[in-house]
Amino acid sequence: MKPTVFLFDIDGTLITTGGVGKAAIETAFDRLYGRADAFTSISFAGMTDRAIVRAGLMAIGKKPAEADIDHAIATYIGVLEEVVPAADAAKYRVHAGIETALDEVHARGNSAVGLGTGNIRAGARVKLDRVSLFGRFAFGGFGCDHEDRAELIRIGAERGAKALDTPRESCRVVVIGDTPKDVAAARAIGAESIGVGTGSFKPADLMACGATYACRDLAEPGALDRLLG
């Protein structure tokens, strides 16, 4: 089988947090700037943590200096560590088909299974440790690697190829995500994309954006076959 790198998005793809992540960044801004309303008009779908914070700072009229972005993200991670363990289990859950899909891609052979996420690595760990998933990913492309999603996906793909001891150009790279930004990032690096309708976008929306394949979720008949190639 062709060496394959799988890169899974987190929010809306692997899990839903019931809004815990957004609430945490709002709390961080409230603590730092007294502005819990900074993100009222900002969509988080497919954005990286640094881009979200940058947009929030601009929304409250503050110049987004890199040091301020770093400080806001550090504060956000601290809040996330407080609220994730206490989140409502009925709302904080793994999406249908994910655990089976992870079992299958790990069993496939000649595959590297990583994350492709706008979360910085520390935030990814906090979110996924709650549902015992973080340890299932040996590497990733994270929001702390690059603010641009296509570039962090490229970094994740390179890390996966290195784990397979194969040039990236010789690998099949598959990005699994729930937003048009996931699809666009995959297309930007010449990767396949599997769109899942477990976030804010329907499969038809993701196909219209150029997804290689889209499904309701990875439990849908045929989805796992397309994922595995």
How much is the pLDDT for 7? 98
Q: Write the class of the CATH domain 4-17+91-228.
A: alpha beta
Closest of 39, 13, 12, 41 to residue 26, by C-alpha: 39
Q: What is the mean pLDDT of each run of 10 residues along the chain (229 residues)?
A: 96 96 96 94 91 96 95 97 95 97 96 98 98 97 96 98 97 98 97 97 97 98 96
* Numbered ranges of CATH 3.40.50.1000 in the chain: 4-17+91-228
How much is the pLDDT for 193? 98
How much is the pLDDT for 1? 84
Report residue 18 as tokens. Answer: 């019931």
Going through the chain in order, the beta strands assigned E by DSSP cover: 4-8, 15-16, 93-94, 111-116, 140-141, 172-177, 192-196, 213-215
* Numbered ranges of CATH 1.10.150 in the chain: 20-83
Closest of 142, 28, 14 to residue 82, by C-alpha: 28
Q: Write the class of the CATH domain 20-83.
A: mainly alpha
| Residue 85 buriedness (CB in 10 A; 0-12 / 13-18 / 19+) | exposed
How much is the pLDDT for 105? 97
